[in-house]
A and B are shown apart, each in its own frame.
Chain A
Amino acid sequence: MLASFLGRLLLLAFPRRFRDRLGRPLVQTLVTDSRGRSGRIAWSRFTAGAFDVVRAGLGERAGSVPERRRRRAMLEALWQDLRVAGRRLNQSRGFAVVALLTLALGIGANTALFQLLEAIRFRSLPITAPSELAEVRIQNFDGARGSFSIWHAGATNGIFEEIRRRQQTFSSVFAWSTGGARFSRDTNAPRFVSQILVSGAFFETLGVQPALGRVLTDADDVRGCASPAVVLGHAFWQSEFGGDPRVLGKRIMLGRDAYEIVGVTPREFTGLEVGRRFDVAAPLCSEWLPAGSSNRLESGTEWFLIVMGRLKPGWTLDRASGHLASISPALFAAALPANYPTESIAGYRAFRLEALGAAYGVSSTREQYAAPLWFLQATALLVLLVGCANLANLMLARGAAREREIAARVALGASRLQIVRVVLAESLLLSILGAVLGAWLAHEISGAIVRFLDGRANQLYLELVLDWRVVGFTSFVAVLTCVLSGLAAAWRSCGVSAAGLLRSAERGLTDNRARVGLRRTLVIAQVALSLVLLAGALLFARSLHNLTRQDLGFRPDGVTVAYVDASGMNIPIDKRADFKEQMLRRLRSAPGVVAVGETTVVPLSNSSSDNEVWIESAAGAAGSPRASSSFSGADAGFFRTLEIPLLAGRTFDAALDTPSAPPVAIVNGAFVNQFLPAGGSAIGRRLWRQARPDFPETAYEIVGVVGNAKYEHLRQPLVPIVYTAISQRPQPSTFSQLVIRTTRTALAPEAVVPMLKGVFAQAGAAIVPTFQDYREMIDRSLVQDALLAALSGFFAVLAVLLATIGLYGSVSFAVSRRTAEIGLRMALGADRRGIFRMVIGEAFVLVAIGCATGWLIAAAVARMLGTMAYGLTPNDPATLFAACALLAVVALAASAMPARRAARLDPMVACRE
């Protein structure tokens, strides 16, 4: 019949299962219901019914009610489980607190380190299509001659302009440089701010839109720079100008020149250098230089630019590198500076350009901290594992104690799944709470690390965000711990034989061998991991100690380093020497000042200068082959101030060593050892220095020998150094680096800088000095090592603490399980001391096995640690032994209390248990 046929069609709205079961009755009822009194189908009613059937059918498909109900039931059951778990945990608060702390610290530490790694390593720049950004560098850069004023310098201005002229692979190319600028506004005192110099295409190529005003364009970067414009960094605009929108059009002073503020960059753009943030961005043409040196734009040997560009669509990095390599010969032939040393010209012509991905910007921060951070992340993961082992052990112990309860449940019909759910719920609840607490801790820890690095390093700027990657990582870690610790416990509880457990005779006398085995394995694993971490921490601590306490060859304590910029005084060249002499005299006679010296390379300031030298053969004495030596300019006061001993000959004398006199040099002991190994006096010998840009080969007469002193950085061994006389420089510079020694008795440390500021102010109001305590500066250079030592120490202590708790809990629990056995032993004649020794002995065995395992693991990992430790072999046995000894003491402490409890048992009570 039509109606029933239609009805069956309508049924298709329902899912098949429903159709099979209730399809027929439904159609039947529908048809019956649609009949009017006459018995014939009332089509209007049928249609209404039909609509309803279709709607109901689709509704049934959308989420079959049983399914939704089941889901809701499950969620409710889960919620119930969690509430029960919460009540249980509340009852055993000690366990809960320990477990939560373990989790929170483990998760927090891991997340914090991951956040840092993400900020340094994984975050791409906030620019348009960062994957299209590439950096142009010279492949075979070694042997380049000239002056390298920034750490990542890749090109001179001449090379940049040639690249811009000849390249075909980038839709747009730009260059930039970093540095500081002397900033002043209105009549405020000048101070140094961080500045980037950018070529005209910088902002446009990156696609950075201004937050206020406009950004710099090609029109701003014209040779000569008549009225230079400047763009402010967002944070600087906020802090210096209070975020005032009327800042546009205002003038500020950078160096000696006035700039007009034309715009502000958006908040998220902090430059292309990860870990740093710029305050002002000025066009390249406005190059501010320490006056007296050559213009960096004109000079072909000033390497101070980083060149980057946006790849044309369809160009890959490889293809771009190929193209750049092909234009290199012509490019460098054209860019070759006139004053380039002849011997190095061939090397210059052979330079090859290549393109490297720059989506993540460039970063000295990354280079400096990436390796330690990865290492620390691995350490944090290890600590987390130790924590999980602890948790698992604790849960196993709890599981064992609840055996009767579980047996009863099983007897009453609970399925395996239900039992597991109960145990899993506890660990899930702990994980969730631990993750939340850990996330908060992570925020605090990572903030503290950044502050630590910022305070000790130079203005580290990292924006730590809680993005999906970090949250995902945290959740993953939390779930991992839940699964690891809870599953172990849950699995064990399932293997419970109900009948056997309910028999009281079996309970308490012995412990299930398999379960004890697992607990013991966990303790051994904890001890092993703790040993590895402890050994690592001790290694770094000793390395740091070696670095800080090593003999520097000079004494930095009590010395202040001053960087003095006198360019603002506009002193004519012929008057400069006198001016400087006057300034130094003022300093020397200032109260509390013992000695003042000048140098062109401040030792351990990460700067260096080297050239090839050779010794001229003299009568009866052989010369030496060409080799590289480090160089530094100095005066007599330099050696006196830093207390570098004079071993032979004389020191510099400004009266004798004038620019017109023959050049003299003082060398150090390492130089003598390398270049004059045959012995004999070095005094009077001549050393030749290779040609430099603007200088031909020069001969120096050695007039003195001084003791060895550290040169560029602490990890560098003592290298040969040639000191030249600053007084012999043809053109005195307006920029000086001074070392000033003061006595504590006359001048308190806090009073040094204000006093010096006063002296310089007297010498000239336009002089801008910057001061740094020498010891602090050296300590700062060790920030990476300090970070490693501090954090690895923290993690090691954490791991040992966890292992101690784990050991204590394990031994404690074992004792309580074996009370009957202990009572029996006592009844059979064992004395208290014997019991004590038995318990302690068993604990010791576990620790011993753990230490042995840990030793093996440490040996395997040692090669990687070795590169980071200073002055120690990677497999340093003393360190490992010390770590083992420490763990042994810890084990003793952990098992002493339960052992005493065991020894104090009353045998009568124990047997009855």
Chain B
Amino acid sequence: MARPTEPAPQSFLPLTSVVFEILVTLASGDRHGYSILTEIRDRSREPLRVGSLYRAIGRLLDDRLIEELDERPDPDVDDQRRRYYRLTDLGRRVAAAEARRLDLQLRHARAARLLADRR
């Protein structure tokens, strides 16, 4: 009768930057590992490496913020069968919570004139 309760999104915060980047990447669609890697590198100029990436992926899988899908080939890369990852509902909520947290932080930073207003 009693459902195992899901942990609150708040309890995951704050996220490390790697983890957040992965969630943001997956928010716009399912990806496989290499694709996540390249997207993060291009987007945030973060010198992400393979080992760190998969450690983070492992953690996210444990916390059920992402889930594994069956392997599919990706024509954009080299058509090898790769494992895809998808954001879970919880993961989406956690990412949103983190984004809100960061936004709030930035707002304070702007108020303190550390960042120019973006109009």
For residue B4, give the distance in angstroms from its CB to the closest CB of chain A: 7
Query: Which of A46-54, A666-674, A718-726 is the contact stretch?
Result: A46-54
Most buried by A among B5, B37, B58: B58
Q: Are A60 and B58 in contact (CB under 8 A)?
A: yes
| CB within 8 Å for A54 and B58 given contacts A25-B32, A32-B34, A413-B3 | no
Q: Are B50 and A22 in contact (CB under 8 A)?
A: no
Closest to B7 in A: A73
**Per-residue contact bits, chain A 15-28, to B (CB 8 Å; 1 contact, 0 not):** 00010011011101
Q: Counting CB contacts under 8 A, is B72 at the interface?
A: no
A56 and B58 CA atoms in complex are apart in Å by 12
Query: Which of B20-28, B78-86, B106-114 is the contact stretch?
Result: B78-86
Contact of A66 among B37, B62, B83 (CB under 8 A): B62
Q: Counting CB contacts under 8 A, is B52 at the interface?
A: yes
- Residues of A near B58 (CB, < 8 A) are 18, 21-22, 60, 65-66
Contact of A29 among B2, B3, B54, B55 (CB under 8 A): B54
**Per-residue contact bits, chain B 80-119, to A (CB 8 Å; 1 contact, 0 not):** 1011000000000000000000000000000000000000
Q: Are A52 and B52 in contact (CB under 8 A)?
A: yes
Contact of A57 among B33, B34, B51 (CB under 8 A): B51
Q: Are B57 and A28 in contact (CB under 8 A)?
A: no
Q: Counting CB contacts under 8 A, is B40 at the interface?
A: no
Q: Are A66 and B55 in contact (CB under 8 A)?
A: no
- Residues of B near A411 (CB, < 8 A) are 2
- Residues of B near A69 (CB, < 8 A) are 59, 63
A413 and B5 CA atoms in complex are apart in Å by 8
Q: Are B50 and A33 in contact (CB under 8 A)?
A: yes
A54 and B63 CA atoms in complex are apart in Å by 23
Q: Are B2 and A412 in contact (CB under 8 A)?
A: yes
Contact of B49 among A52, A66, A412 (CB under 8 A): A52
Q: Are A28 and B55 in contact (CB under 8 A)?
A: no
Closest to B5 in A: A413
Q: Counting CB contacts under 8 A, is A871 at the interface?
A: no
**Per-residue contact bits, chain A 386-412, to B (CB 8 Å; 1 contact, 0 not):** 000000000000000000000000011
| CB within 8 Å for A56 and B37 given contacts A25-B32, A32-B78, A413-B3 | no
- Residues of A near B82 (CB, < 8 A) are 25, 28
Q: Counting CB contacts under 8 A, is A312 at the interface?
A: no
Interface residues of A in 44-102 (CB under 8 A from B): 48-49, 52-57, 59-60, 65-66, 69, 73
A815 and B80 CA atoms in complex are apart in Å by 77
Contact of A25 among B3, B11, B83 (CB under 8 A): B83
A54 and B82 CA atoms in complex are apart in Å by 22
Q: Counting CB contacts under 8 A, is A362 at the interface?
A: no
A532 and B6 CA atoms in complex are apart in Å by 54
For residue A817, give the distance in angstroms from its CB to the closest CB of chain B: 29
Q: Are B59 and A26 in contact (CB under 8 A)?
A: no
For residue A84, give the distance in angstroms from its CB to the closest CB of chain B: 16
- Residues of A near B51 (CB, < 8 A) are 26, 49, 52-57
- Residues of B near A21 (CB, < 8 A) are 58, 61
Interface residues of B in 36-58 (CB under 8 A from A): 37, 49-55, 57-58
Q: Are A29 and B33 in contact (CB under 8 A)?
A: yes
**Per-residue contact bits, chain A 262-277, to B (CB 8 Å; 1 contact, 0 not):** 0000000000000000
Q: Counting CB contacts under 8 A, is A480 at the interface?
A: no
Q: Counting CB contacts under 8 A, is A805 at the interface?
A: no
A30 and B3 CA atoms in complex are apart in Å by 40
| CB within 8 Å for A29 and B50 given contacts A65-B55, A412-B2, A413-B2 | yes
- Residues of A near B33 (CB, < 8 A) are 25-26, 28-29
A49 and B53 CA atoms in complex are apart in Å by 11
Q: Are B5 and A26 in contact (CB under 8 A)?
A: no
**Per-residue contact bits, chain B 57-72, to A (CB 8 Å; 1 contact, 0 not):** 1110111000000000
- Residues of B near A28 (CB, < 8 A) are 33-34, 80, 82
Closest to A34 in B: B50
A819 and B50 CA atoms in complex are apart in Å by 70
| CB within 8 Å for A52 and B54 given contacts A25-B83, A66-B59 | no
Contact of A26 among B2, B50, B62 (CB under 8 A): B50
A54 and B55 CA atoms in complex are apart in Å by 11
- Residues of B near A57 (CB, < 8 A) are 51
Interface bin, chain B: 20 to 34
Q: Are A413 and B4 in contact (CB under 8 A)?
A: yes
- Residues of B near A29 (CB, < 8 A) are 33-34, 37, 50, 53-54
- Residues of B near A412 (CB, < 8 A) are 2
A474 and B82 CA atoms in complex are apart in Å by 59
Q: Are A56 and B59 in contact (CB under 8 A)?
A: no
For residue A160, give the distance in angstroms from its CB to the closest CB of chain B: 75
Closest to B48 in A: A52
Q: Are A25 and B52 in contact (CB under 8 A)?
A: no
Closest to B11 in A: A73
A48 and B49 CA atoms in complex are apart in Å by 9
**Per-residue contact bits, chain A 882-893, to B (CB 8 Å; 1 contact, 0 not):** 000000000000
Closest to A57 in B: B51
A891 and B39 CA atoms in complex are apart in Å by 79
For residue B38, give the distance in angstroms from its CB to the closest CB of chain A: 8
- Residues of B near A59 (CB, < 8 A) are 55
For residue A647, give the distance in angstroms from its CB to the closest CB of chain B: 94
**Per-residue contact bits, chain A 420-461, to B (CB 8 Å; 1 contact, 0 not):** 000000000000000000000000000000000000000000
For residue A408, give the distance in angstroms from its CB to the closest CB of chain B: 12
A57 and B53 CA atoms in complex are apart in Å by 11
A54 and B62 CA atoms in complex are apart in Å by 21
Closest to A56 in B: B51
Most buried by A among B37, B55, B62: B55
Interface residues of A in 764-787 (CB under 8 A from B): none
A413 and B4 CA atoms in complex are apart in Å by 7
A25 and B57 CA atoms in complex are apart in Å by 11
A611 and B69 CA atoms in complex are apart in Å by 104
Closest to B77 in A: A32
A411 and B3 CA atoms in complex are apart in Å by 11
Q: Are A49 and B5 in contact (CB under 8 A)?
A: no
| CB within 8 Å for A49 and B50 given contacts A25-B82, A33-B37, A66-B62 | yes
Interface residues of A in 487-505 (CB under 8 A from B): none
Closest to A59 in B: B55
Interface residues of A in 462-485 (CB under 8 A from B): none
Interface residues of A in 142-201 (CB under 8 A from B): none
- Residues of B near A56 (CB, < 8 A) are 49-52, 54-55
Most buried by B among A22, A25, A69: A25
- Residues of B near A53 (CB, < 8 A) are 49-51
A69 and B60 CA atoms in complex are apart in Å by 12
Contact of A24 among B2, B37, B83 (CB under 8 A): B83
Q: Are B57 and A22 in contact (CB under 8 A)?
A: yes
- Residues of A near B5 (CB, < 8 A) are 413
For residue A575, give the distance in angstroms from its CB to the closest CB of chain B: 99
- Residues of A near B55 (CB, < 8 A) are 56, 59-60, 65
A26 and B54 CA atoms in complex are apart in Å by 7
For residue B5, give the distance in angstroms from its CB to the closest CB of chain A: 6
A52 and B53 CA atoms in complex are apart in Å by 10
- Residues of A near B62 (CB, < 8 A) are 66
- Residues of B near A30 (CB, < 8 A) are 50
| CB within 8 Å for A66 and B54 given contacts A29-B37, A413-B4 | no
- Residues of B near A48 (CB, < 8 A) are 49
30 A–B contacts, CB within 8 A, in A order: A21-B58, A22-B57, A22-B58, A25-B33, A25-B82, A25-B83, A26-B33, A26-B50, A26-B51, A28-B80, A32-B34, A32-B77, A33-B50, A49-B49, A52-B50, A52-B52, A53-B49, A54-B51, A56-B49, A56-B50, A56-B52, A56-B55, A60-B55, A65-B55, A65-B58, A65-B59, A66-B63, A73-B11, A411-B2, A413-B5
Known: A29-B33, A49-B51, A59-B55. 12 other contacts (CB 8 A): A18-B58, A21-B58, A24-B83, A26-B54, A29-B37, A29-B50, A30-B50, A52-B50, A53-B50, A56-B52, A65-B55, A413-B3
Q: Considering the complex of A and B, which 4 residue pairs feature the smallest CB-CB distances, nearest first? A: A56-B51, A413-B2, A52-B49, A52-B51
